[in-house]
Structure 1
Amino acid sequence: MPSPSRRRVTVSRGLSLACAVAAAGALLTACGDDKDPAQTGSAPDNARASMSRADSASGSTSPSPSPSGSAGGLTEDQSERKTLVPKAKVGYDKAMDAAVKAVNGSKPVSIELKGPSDKPDWEAEVATGDGTKSTVRVDAVTGEAGEPRTDSDQDGDDKKELAGLLSKAKVGPKQAADTATGRTKGTVTSVELDDTDRGGPMWSVDVVNTSDWNKTTYDIDATDRKVLREHVDRD
């Protein structure tokens, strides 16, 4: 049987070992608590956090996408007008006269500048007294009129309606265009006879401003030259 002094030595050694183990555990716990919170996530998360902190420090931001549109800040339609309109050496009025001469006894119904820009032309529509409509293409560079093509889709009612509008129109297309350009300086690219909500005749005139290439449409009463509507197309 061991003596009391030996038992005291054994107990003392046991207590010392236990204290050492406890101290080591406390030390490991303290080291774990000192970790940076940003390092507790996964590797990709830590990388993103580091990049975010770097960007914030440098003041850099992700580039914003540039707005759509063509060079010079023009829209697609504005760019097309800028390309096409200057290529027309013959104005709408002379082209309209050439179309009317191509069909005996006709009056102008509509005219519009068409592309492509390397071969622009005016597409004109004229009609005889009974309302029969024909299409005539006029070269926008030379002013030469092509062969007239009669509209085969017209029926009797269509002819009667068109003949009625022409007979009621006391204001001609050139007068209507002058009214439009008196309000907006620019180039006339379209003139068209149409009817109002009340059934009366009116001219719809497009004017392109060659400084910003916007298009303004005027609806003008064909009986008294009153402006019924004005709309600016900035697209």
Structure 2
Amino acid sequence: MGELCRARRAAPRADGEPTGLLDVVLAANDAQAAAADGDPLTDAELHSLAMTLLIGGFETTGGVITNVITTLLADRSHWESLVADPSGLPGAVEELLRYHPLSMTFPRVATEDVDLGGFVVRAGEVVVVPLAAMSRDPEVFTDPDRLDLTREPVTNLTFGHGPHHCIGAHLARVELTETLAALLEKLPGLRLAVPADELTYELKAPIGRPQTLPVHW
């Protein structure tokens, strides 16, 4: 990422205007560095921000789209129900996001002692929060391990909460909705080209997902 940032800085711009998101970030940071009272990011901070944009804007979106399509086609009655009635897509998207969280886990650091049902997490300790478990809490969701595209949407923690709520939540919903809407309209006959149990999963990615998703229509 450091090499990419340096290369983009060095790339000449015909009209002097940034040509992509990374260019916009670099230009804004350079403007901060040039300002009398500027407070630009360090190189390490800049590279970390660029990596966050890459992972948050691409890896999670691609992973969730792949998992959602796999799930809908593995039990094709789900896909066929949306083909027959695409008006149910907004509610289905919420259920699919509950069923397939955007990340498997998140590390958090306790700022104070917290009692979790008799188990005390001490201030300063790191806690790994399993989002998949929260999205399938039987006290919140009826029959939580079952995908129900007609389920009445229930407030969930798919996109986090409070100051940790994903700033791209609305964009993620739009991307998933528009992707599915286009496929349902243009490729209603979409099917898996291999049995679902033959798919190989990439488990080291932020979102466990099939490495490839062969389909035909």
* TM-score of the aligned structures, taking structure 1 as reference length: 0.23
* Bigger fraction of residues in strand: 1
Q: Which has the higher contact order (CA 8 A, sep 6+)?
A: 2
* TM-score of the aligned structures, taking structure 2 as reference length: 0.24
